[in-house]
Structure 1
Amino acid sequence: MSFLRSSRSFGSTRAAMGASPLSDGELMQLAPSAFATEAHSSRSARYAYIPTADVIAGLRREGFAPVLARQTRPRDADRSGHTKHLIRFRHEGQAIQPRRVGMTFPEVVLINSHDGTSAYHVTAGVFRLACLNGMVVSDGPERSVKVPHKGDVVRQVIEGSFEVLDASRQAIEAADTWAGVTLNRDEQHALADAARVLRFGDEEGNVSTPIQADQLLRARRVADASDDLWTTFNRVQENTIRGGLQAWGRDGNNRPRRVTSREVTGIDQDVKLNRALWMLGERMAALKGAA
């Protein structure tokens, strides 16, 4: 699965630049499946169809503004109008809060589908302006709410959004703490080594890519060259998710070939990897006595 490419760049840029919230027309361009008028034909009569568009409208009434949208491109083209989609929201109350930690914002991440591949899933997120990166905080009872397709879904999603928004704000506070924790070179390598296994390892944890942990630590901008935990985490997260890292490897005939790491574009992989990386950051903070 992959995100529609235009969705990622357009939505990220709009959100990062602090532009006005996305309109329904813009959301429809980025994630048309959110506006499906009925459930996919594979769903039985027991499947309660509650359109994401109704949930978006309900969240808007409560002050949540959509700022980014994506959807997957399924292998079965028949599901393209009902496939899994992800929408990120910011609450209007953030406007009066000081911008902190290198322009970082708490967000609410909504995931859903109309083909049975996902219930409504509301989870805590963080957006960092410097690198236009949207992160998903590690999972937990206070950071994630799942709502099945039955009952008063709109109300349940709204209540869940306020719950995880508090968790997102706590994540911003954690990032403030991480920014005050200095990592030595060995500690930075330990973080990058673990991220390398998460990104490139097989089910047994074996890694065959020539991409090295050092490359995950490289700063893409001068402001990200610091040795504190928050900045180091952001370097590792960005390099792991964005891809574009190059190294020389060998093909099946043992001939040298250039390898380039791919961007993580699938919704499930993106969320899973981001959560695992955030957990790594939390574990490192705990080891440094800054949990």
Structure 2
Amino acid sequence: MNFQLASRFSRNINAARSDEPMSDDQIRAVAPSIFAESAHASRSERYTYLPTIDVINGLRREGFQPFAVAQTRVRDSGKAEHTKHMIRLRYASNINDSEAKEVVLLNSHDGSSSYQMLAGMFRFVCANGMVCGETHSDIRVRHSGNIVDNVIEGATRVLDSFEEVTEQRDGMRALTLNEGEAQAFGRAALLLKYDDLAAPAPVTERQILNARRSADRGADLWTTFNVVQENLVRGGLIGRSKTGKRATTRGVNGIDQSVKLNRALWQLAEEMRRLKAAN
């Protein structure tokens, strides 16, 4: 089994992924808040507490398996065992030669998050997970009522949305971008991460359009989107700071920031697809 700690996220989150379903011990080592024995003291009596591991076990019984987990690091030690966490689940059989469809589950026990489920996709070529941006696959379940059944129903609804996600992906693959269109996409993507209009981004659109491997060299929209997404999320590009000094771009740290940027990039790519298809 390939079990890997994602140390690049060490500033703000602990994270790990595996190429096989993760055991409880592996999950606990990275995200102990998934096993919290009670809600945070700030929660009222109306809050229905259920450990996230109980929800995961319910999803396991339905055929879902966890392949990646993450937990936010917090300064308040009193919230460390209740903080936000993320689990990426999929059917072990729901894999083709390049990608896997995933249900991205977010939760916390300190009031910072309800149960939230999003459509995700994992690319094996770069071991990188993305979040699909359409709101129809954004399912939220409050901490009340029959949580396990509601989350299982939500996960099934997310999987049902993949028919549309697959159509969008195939549509992106079918569209070729010329150089000007690719650079326009890159410039728009930079603004999603570096939104300070008073200062230039530390890198150029040409840099984030540069593929990290030969398998990602292509002019279609899907390939362009994936190259840009990896470069922005992972960081590590050499650029210039606001003062003009040599600097290396940072990866996206934090669960919320990663989900927000990933969804925005998907929506940008989907809008480009619609515009190209209309012409």
TM-score normalised by L of structure 2: 0.91
Q: Is the 8 A contact 1:126 1:171 kept in 2?
A: no
Counterpart for residue 89 of structure 2: 89
Counterpart for residue 107 of structure 2: 112
Q: Secondary structure at the match of 2:245?
A: strand
Matched, 1:270 2:258: yes
- Aligned counterparts of 1:68 and 1:112: Cα–Cα separation in 2: 14
Q: Is the 8 A contact 1:197 1:207 kept in 2?
A: no
Q: Secondary structure at the match of 2:274?
A: helix
Counterpart for residue 147 of structure 1: 141
Q: Is the 8 A contact 2:66 2:87 kept in 1?
A: yes
Distance of aligned partners of 1:58 and 1:114 in 2 relative to their CA distance in 1, 3 Å threshold = same
Letter in 2 for 1:223: A
Structure 1 segments, 4+ long, off by >6 Å, are none
Aligned length: 271
Counterpart for residue 208 of structure 1: 200
Counterpart for residue 282 of structure 1: 270
Q: Is the 8 A contact 2:173 2:222 kept in 1?
A: yes
- Aligned counterparts of 1:60 and 1:187: Cα–Cα separation in 2: 43
Q: State the shift of 1:206 in Å.
A: 4.4
Letter in 2 for 1:30: V
Letter in 2 for 1:112: N
Counterpart for residue 231 of structure 1: 223
- Aligned counterparts of 1:92 and 1:216: Cα–Cα separation in 2: 32
Distance of aligned partners of 1:92 and 1:183 in 2 relative to their CA distance in 1, 3 Å threshold = same
Q: Is the 8 A contact 2:235 2:252 kept in 1?
A: yes
Matched, 1:218 2:210: yes
CA RMSD of aligned residues (A): 2.0
Distance of aligned partners of 1:240 and 1:33 in 2 relative to their CA distance in 1, 3 Å threshold = same
Deviates more, 1:86-95 or 1:276-285: 86-95
- Aligned counterparts of 1:206 and 1:156: Cα–Cα separation in 2: 45
- Aligned counterparts of 2:31 and 2:106: Cα–Cα separation in 1: 11
1:38-187 mapped onto 2 (5 Å cutoff): 38-94=38-94, 99=96, 103-140=98-135, 142-187=136-181
Q: State the shift of 1:166 in Å.
A: 2.0
Q: Secondary structure at the match of 1:288?
A: helix
Q: Give the gaps of 5 or more residues in structure 1.
A: none
User: Residue by residue, what CA displacement relative to the aligned partner does 1:193-237 show, whole Å, maximum 9, x if unpaired?
Assistant: 1110010113xx444333111111011001111111110000000
- Aligned counterparts of 1:231 and 1:290: Cα–Cα separation in 2: 20
Letter in 1 for 2:268: L
Counterpart for residue 245 of structure 2: 257
Q: Is the 8 A contact 1:86 1:267 kept in 2?
A: yes
Q: Secondary structure at the match of 2:112?
A: coil
Q: Is the 8 A contact 2:68 2:87 kept in 1?
A: yes
